[in-house]
Structures are given as C-alpha cells and as structure tokens.
C-alpha cells in the first residue's frame, strides 16, 4: 500500500514518520479537519465518561450498605424461566449491530454508493431509537416498580440511584443525539450535498456513533456485570 | 484510496468483526449466567471488555489505519485517567474505613 502523501514516510516507517509529521513545515495531521475535531471532542467525552465511571468506583468502594444486585434487578422472565440481565444483553446486541451497520455505511460512502449509505445510516438510526426506547422502559421499571430514586432505594445502598441515572442517562442522551445527528447527515447524503465535497462526513458521524458503542462496553462491564 | 488518504477495508472484515463482538458479548454474558465468582469473574469481565473496546476502536473507528502521530495523540492523554483511578481508590478505601468506624456500631 503506497502512502497518499509521498513527502512523508509511509506506514512501514512509522517512527520516522512520527518525527516528520511533527517537525515538517506542514500541518501535523493530514486528515480532514472535521475528523480531527471529532477525535478531539471524543477525547473530551472520554474524560467525562471516565470521571463518571471513576466516581462510581469510589462510591462503590466506600458504601457500607449492600449494593443492589444488578443481575436480579435487570432480569427478565420469559415463559416461566428467569434470564439474568436479559434486557441489558439485548440492548448490548442492538448497539453492537448498529455499530456494524454504521461501519458499512462509512464503507459504502467511500465507494460512492449513495443509496446503500443512506440505507445503512437509516438502519443505524432506527436501532439507536430502539436502544433508547428499551432504556426508557428500563428506567420506567426501576422508577415505578422497584422504587429506585436518585436519593435512595429499598434495595440497599442509597447511592445506587444517583450513579445509575447519571451514567445511563448521560449515555442515553448521547445515543439520542447520535440518532438525530445520523438522521440529519443521512438526509443531506440523500440530497446529494456531499457529491462534490466528498463523504468524509459519514466517517466523522461514524466515529461519534462507534464511541457511543465503546462507552456502552465499559458501562456494561463495570455497572451491570461487576 | 479516498480523499482522506487512508486505506479502506472490505465489507467482509466488518462482518467478521461484528460477529467477533457478538461472540465476546455472549461470553461476558455467560460469565454472569454461570455465576463465576471472585478473581476469575473480574478478570474475565475485564478481558472481554478490553478486547471489545480494542476491536471497536481499531477496526470500526479506522484507528489501525491512522498515522502513528494521530494514534499517539489520541491514546496518551486518556492514560491520565489512571492517576485519577489510583487517587480515588485510596480515597474510597479511606471513606469506607471511616464509615465502618463511625457509622456501624
């Protein structure tokens, strides 16, 4: 694979490429500016979610009341059999699948296949909506059936509600924002706005969406499974 | 080769990665299903989490095809969070001990 910019070292020569990227008389990152801005935004978001999860760790380490059992709390009973954590598992699979369809949309966009790009972006947005709906159902169950509040709950440590609503709520807002973002970009792709400008906007949108999926991986491991 | 100057993989790779993510998620669900406990449970949860995160970033976010200068600029800053983990682990432990001494008689 040959590099697009012959003046810089190729990927096989990455350490000297690193030096020339930072020292040559040119821009450091030879990628579309929107993509770099999205990466920088995502680093900021990494710190926000990182701080949430670390705060959760500090709270979880310091409680003396028992922590509510998330496995039983999010269990579902289907046909007399109780599956632990089933709702969360379904939500995880939906988000992973939506990430897969988004990756395909990016791929088709760079091949110039406008119709398939819009189709896969629409699929991604629909799965995002399903995810948010399931989360709304999950919140409703916890609030109305289990009596979880941000200031306390009948199951144990009173900090549980605050952590749960804060972390999953902030993630849910990211998903909702992502659905709107994808829908807007897909509409513009459909209208042909990017035929001359190029389709890097689809990759930028994809970066955001994969990040939302990435955050869920950490929430799933630390909040639901731990 | 596109206008962003990077390599674009085939659709097949994405489908393989997607299946891999499914399998890894299923494994972490099995950790719960079989009620694994203690260090085994925690190390398996962390292992599957890191594998999933790495695959999403590397392939879905095209990270493995970026230049080293961008890769390092993105990976190094979040490592500062590990310092916060250490500080709040000490703090959380201190709060726990204090609560045991004064709140539970």
Q: What is the Cα Rg of chain A in Å?
A: 21
Q: How far is CA A10 from CA A3, A13, A132, B67, B69, in A?
A: 5, 5, 43, 9, 12
Residues 6+ apart with CB under 8 A from A156: A65, A66, A67, A68
| B85: closest CA of chain A, how far (Å) | 6
The pLDDT, as a whole number, for residue A70 is 85
Percent of chain B past pLDDT 70, that is, above it, reads 90
b (16+ CB within 10 A) / e for A204-214? bbbbbbbbbbb
| Mean pLDDT, residues B24-36 | 87
The pLDDT, as a whole number, for residue A40 is 96
The pLDDT, as a whole number, for residue B70 is 92
In whole angstroms, what is the distance from residue A166 CA to residue A223 CA? 12
* Number of other residues whose CB lies within 10 A of the CB of residue A153: 19
> Cβ contact (<8 Å) for B9 and A107?
yes
More confident residue, A188 or A196: A188
The pLDDT, as a whole number, for residue B37 is 85
B70-74 contacts at long range (C-beta below 8 A, 24 or more positions apart): B70/A29, B70/A31, B70/A36, B70/A39, B72/A18, B73/A29, B74/A39, B74/A43
Task: Tell me which chain B residues have a C-beta less than 8 angstroms from the C-beta of A22.
Answer: 69
Instruction: Point out the residue among A46, A84, A206 whose CB comes nearest to the CB of B32.
Output: A84
User: Model confidence at B1, in pLDDT bands (50, 70, 90)?
Assistant: very low
User: Model confidence at A75, in pLDDT bands (50, 70, 90)?
Assistant: confident
User: Model confidence at B105, in pLDDT bands (50, 70, 90)?
Assistant: low
> Cβ contact (<8 Å) for A31 and B9?
no
The pLDDT, as a whole number, for residue B2 is 42
Instruction: Point out the residue among A4, A22, A61 whose CB comes nearest to the CB of B92.
Output: A61
With 0-12 CB in 10 A as exposed, 13-18 as middle and 19+ as buried, what is B68? Answer: middle
Residue A82 has pLDDT above 90, yes or no: no
Task: Tell me which chain B residues have a C-beta less than 8 angstroms from the C-beta of A54.
Answer: 81, 84-85, 88
- pTM, entire model: 0.90
Asked if B40 has any chain A CB less than 8 Å from its own CB, the reply is no
Residue B7 has pLDDT above 70, yes or no: no
A51-61: pLDDT as tens digits = 999 999 999 99
Asked if B76 has any chain A CB less than 8 Å from its own CB, the reply is no
Q: Which ipTM was obtained for this model?
A: 0.90
The pLDDT, as a whole number, for residue B99 is 92
Backbone angles phi, psi at A83, to 5 degrees: -100, 125
Question: Which chain B residue has the Cα nearest residue A203?
Answer: B61
| A88: closest CA of chain B, how far (Å) | 10
A189-222: pLDDT as tens digits = 999 999 888 889 999 999 999 999 999 999 999 9
The pLDDT, as a whole number, for residue A30 is 87
Domains, chain A, in order of start with CATH, read 14-225 (1.20.120.80)
| Mean pLDDT, residues A74-97 | 87
Helix (H, G, I), strand (E, B) or coil at B75: helix
Task: Tell me which chain B residues have a C-beta less than 8 angstroms from the C-beta of A75.
Answer: none
Q: How far is CA A77 from CA A74, A81, A85, A132, in A?
A: 10, 5, 10, 21
User: Model confidence at B38, in pLDDT bands (50, 70, 90)?
Assistant: confident
The pLDDT, as a whole number, for residue B9 is 76
Most confident by average pLDDT, A35-44, A190-199, B2-11 = A35-44
The pLDDT, as a whole number, for residue A5 is 46
Mean pLDDT of chain A: 90
The pLDDT, as a whole number, for residue A13 is 63
> Cβ contact (<8 Å) for A100 and B46?
no
């Amino acid at each position: 694979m040959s590099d697009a910019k012959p003046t810089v070292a190729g990927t096989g020569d990455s350490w000297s490429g690193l030096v020339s990227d930072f020292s040559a008389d040119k821009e450091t990152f030879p990628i579309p500016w929107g993509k770099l801005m999205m990466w920088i935004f995502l680093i900021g978001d990494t710190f926000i979610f990182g701080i949430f999860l670390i705060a959760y760790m500090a709270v979880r380490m310091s409680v003396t009341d028992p922590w509510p059992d998330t496995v039983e709390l999010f269990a579902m009973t289907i046909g007399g059999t109780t599956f632990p954590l089933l709702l969360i598992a379904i939500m995880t699979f939906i988000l992973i699948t939506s990430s897969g369809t988004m990756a395909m949309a990016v791929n088709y966009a760079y091949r110039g296949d406008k119709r398939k790009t819009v189709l896969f972006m629409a699929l991604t947005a629909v799965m995002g909506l399903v995810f948010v709906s399931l989360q709304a159902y999950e919140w409703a169950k916890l609030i109305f059936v289990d009596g979880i509040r941000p200031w306390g709950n009948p199951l144990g440590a009173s900090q549980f509600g605050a952590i749960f609503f804060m972390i999953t709520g902030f993630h849910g807002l990211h998903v909702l924002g992502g659905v709107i973002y994808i829908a807007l970009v897909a509409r513009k792709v459909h209208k042909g706005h990017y035929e001359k400008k190029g389709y890097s906007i689809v990759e930028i949108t994809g970066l955001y969406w994969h990040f939302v999926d990435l955050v869920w991986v950490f929430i799933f491991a630390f909040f639901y499974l731990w | 080769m596109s206008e962003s100057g990077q390599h674009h993989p085939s659709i097949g790779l994405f489908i393989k990665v997607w299946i891999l993510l499914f399998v890894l998620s299923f494994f972490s669900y099995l950790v719960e299903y079989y009620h694994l406990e203690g260090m085994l449970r925690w190390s398996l949860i962390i292992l599957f989490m890191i594998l999933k995160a790495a695959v999403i970033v590397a392939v879905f976010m095209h990270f493995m095809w970026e230049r080293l200068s961008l890769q390092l600029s993105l990976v190094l800053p979040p490592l500062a969070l590990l310092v916060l983990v250490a500080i709040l682990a000490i703090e959380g432990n201190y709060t726990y001990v204090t609560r045991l001494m004064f709140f539970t008689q």
